[in-house]
Amino acid sequence: MTVISILTRLDTLCKKYEKYDLEKQGGAQDSSNDAFLKLYKLMESDIEAALQKSSDASIEKNRAAVATLNAEVRRAKASMRNEISHLQKLAHKKVKGVTKEELAARPDIVLGLVGKIEAIPEGTIMGIKPKGGKPPAIPFEIKMDGVNPEDLIHPEQYQDTEESKGFREVVQKKKGKQDEGLEVISEGLETLKNMAQDINEELSRQVPLVEEIDSKVDKAALDLGNTNIRLKDTITKLRSSRNFCIDIVLMCVVLGIAGYLYK
Partner 1 sequence: MNYEKLKDAEKMLKEANKLTKLSFARWSADWAEATPLYEQAGLAFKLAKETAKAKEAFEKAAMGQERLLSPWQAAKHMEAAGGLAKELGNWTEVADFYKRACELYAESGKPQPGADALARGARALEDAVPDEAVRLYLDSCAILEEEDKEQLAFDTYRAATNLYLKLQRCMWLWSRFEDAANMLLRWGLAADKCKAIQSQCKAYLSAIITYLYAQDLKQAEQCHVDCTQIDVFLQSEQNACAEKLLQAYREADPEEIKYVVSKSSTIQHLDHMIIRLAKQLPTGDMKAIASASGNIQDNELDVNNCIC
Instruction: Catalog residues that contact partner 1 under the rule CB under 8 A.
Output: 187, 190-191, 194, 197-198, 200-201, 204-205
Q: Pick the closer one to partner 1 by CB: 118 or 198.
A: 198
- Pick the closer one to partner 1 by CB: 33 or 186: 186
- Give CA–CA dist 200/62, Å, rounded: 43
- Give buried/exposed letters for 227-255 (b at 16+ CB in 10 A, else e): eeeeeeeeeeeeeeeeeeeeeeeeeeeee
Q: How far is the CB of 205 from partner 1 (least distance, A)?
A: 4
Whether 107 contacts 63, CB under 8 Å: no
- Percent helix, percent strand, percent coil in the chain, to nearest 5: 80, 0, 20
In whole angstroms, the minimum distance from the beta carbon of 225 to partner 1 comes to 24
* Least separation in angstroms between CB 186 and partner 1: 9
Q: List CB contacts of 53: < 8 A, sequence separation 6 or more.
A: 69, 72, 73, 76
- Angstrom distances, CA of residue 31 to CA of 98, 102, 108: 12, 15, 20
Q: CB nearer to partner 1: give 180 or 190.
A: 190
Q: Which is nearer to partner 1, 32 or 215 (CB)?
A: 215
CB of 214 or CB of 247, closer to partner 1: 214
Sequence-distant (≥ 6) Cβ neighbours of residue 64 within 8 angstroms: none
Q: Nearest approach, Cβ of 204 to partner 1 (angstroms)? A: 7
- Of 192, 81, 67, the C-alpha closest to 122 is 67
CB of 201 to partner 1, least distance (A): 5
Residue 190 CB, nearest distance to partner 1 (Å)? 5
Shorter beta-carbon distance to partner 1: residue 5 or 204? 204
